Amino acid sequence: MGESGIESVLSENRTFSPPAVPGGKSPRWHLSSMEDYRREWKRSIDDPEGFWDEIAHELHWFSPWSRVLEWNLPDAKWFVGGTTNLCYNAVDRHVVSGHGEETAIIWEGEPVGPAGPEIRRLTYAQLQQEIARFANGLKSLGVAKGDVVTIYMGMVPELAIAMLACARIGAAHSVIFGGFSSQAIVDRVLDARSRVIVTCDGAWRRGKVVPLKANVDEACDVLASHGHTVTSVITLIRTANTVAMTPGRDHDWHALTGAASPDCPCEPLDSEQMLFLLYTSGSTGKPKGILHTTGGYMVHTYLTSKYVFNLHPDAGQVFWCTADCGWVTGHSYIVYGILPNRVPTLMYEGAPNYPAEDRFWDICARHKVTQFYTAPTAIRAFMKWGDHHPAQHDLSTLQVLGTVGEPINPEAWMWYRRHIGHDRCPIVDTWWQTETGGHMITPLPGVTPTKPGSCTLPFFGVDAAIVDDQGVEQPHKHGGLLVIRRPWPSMLRGIYGDRQRYIETYWSRVPGMYLAGDGAHRDSDGYFWIMGRIDDVINVSGHRLGTMEVESALVSHPGVAEAAVVGMPHEIKGTGIAAFVTLRPTHTPPDAAAAEKFKNTLAAHVAHEIGAIARPDMIRFTDALPKTRSGKIMRRLLRAIAAGEEKITQDTTTLEDFSILAKLREQDEA
Question: What does the binding site for ligand PRX look like in residue numbers (CB under 6 A)?
Answer: 280, 328-329, 404-407, 429-434, 455, 516-518, 530, 533, 539, 543-544
> CB of 353 within 8 A of CB of 384?
no
CB 255, min distance to ligand PRX, A: 36
Q: Write out the DSSP string of 49-71.
A: HHHHHHHHTTS--SB--SEEEEE
Coil vs helix vs strand at 157: helix
- Using CB atoms, what's the residue nearest to ligand PRX? 434
Q: Which is nearer to ligand PRX, 168 or 544 (CB)?
A: 544
Beta carbon of residue 529, minimum distance to ligand PRX (angstroms, whole number): 9
> At its nearest, how many Å lie between ligand PRX and the CB of residue 279?
11
Q: Give the residue with the Cβ less far from ligand PRX, 266 or 325.
A: 325
Closest C-alpha among 461, 456, 600 to residue 529: 456
Q: CB 482 → ligand PRX: shortest distance, Å?
A: 8
Q: How far is the CB of 25 from ligand PRX (least distance, A)?
A: 28
In the complex, what is the shortest distance from the CB of residue 329 to ligand PRX, in angstroms, rounded to a whole number?
5
CB 633 within 8 A of CB 626: yes
Pairwise CA distance, residues 266 & 280, whole Å:
29
Report the nearest approach of ligand PRX to the CB of residue 359 (Å). 22
Q: How far is the CB of 192 from ligand PRX (least distance, A)?
A: 18
Question: CB of 453: closest distance to ligand PRX in angstroms?
Answer: 9
One-letter amino acid for residue 414 of the chain: M
DSSP for 332-392, written as a single string:
IIIIITTGGGT--EEEE-S-TTSSSTTHHHHHHHHHT-SEEEE-HHHHHHHHHH-THHHHT
Of the pair 191, 406, the CB lying nearest ligand PRX is at 406
Task: Using the minimum distance from each CB to ligand PRX, give the nearer residue, 280 or 310.
Answer: 280
CA distances from 443 to 21, 280, 345, 354, 527 (A): 16, 26, 21, 32, 10
CB of 285 to ligand PRX, least distance (A): 17
Positive/negative CA dihedral, 470, 471, 475, 476? positive
CA distance readout (Å), 348 to 154, 159, 342, 360, 656: 10, 12, 19, 9, 52
Which residue lies nearer to ligand PRX by CB, 453 or 626?
453
Residue 176 or 619: which CB sits closer to ligand PRX? 176
Closest approach of Cβ 544 to ligand PRX, in Å? 4
> Which one, 257 or 329, has the nearer CB to ligand PRX?
329
Beta bridge partners of 197: 150, 233
Nearer to ligand PRX, 257 or 430 (CB): 430
By beta-carbon proximity to ligand PRX, the closer residue of 171 and 464 is 464
Angle at 641 between CA 640 and CA 646, to 5 degrees: 80
Give the integer Cα–Cα distance in Å for 576 and 458: 29
Pick 187 or 406: Cβ nearer ligand PRX: 406
Spatial distance between the Cα atoms of 338 and 316, rounded to a whole number of angstroms: 14
Strands lying side by side in the sheet with 464-467: 464-467, 480-484, 514-522, 528-533
Q: Which residues of 503-512 are buried (b: 16+ CB within 10 A; e: fewer)?
A: eebbbebbee
| Cα–Cα dist 372/320, whole Å | 5
Give CA–CA dist 17/3, Å, rounded: 37
319-321 and 371-374 strand pairing = parallel
Sheet strands (E) in 138-265? 148-152, 172-175, 196-200, 203-205, 208-210, 232-236, 250-252
Task: Give 236 or 516: the residue with its C-beta nearer to ligand PRX.
Answer: 516
**Minimum CB distance to ligand PRX smaller for 128 or for 436:** 436
Supply the minimum distance, in Å, between the C-beta of residue 430 and ligand PRX. Answer: 5
Return d(Cα 327, Cα 432) in angstroms, integer: 12
Classify burial at 244, counting beta carbons within 10 Å of its beta carbon; exposed 0-12, middle 13-18, buried 19 or more: exposed
| Phi, psi values for residue 164, rounded to 5° | -65, -30
**CB closer to ligand PRX out of 448 and 622:** 448
User: Residue 380 Cβ, how far from ligand PRX at the closest point, in Å?
Assistant: 14
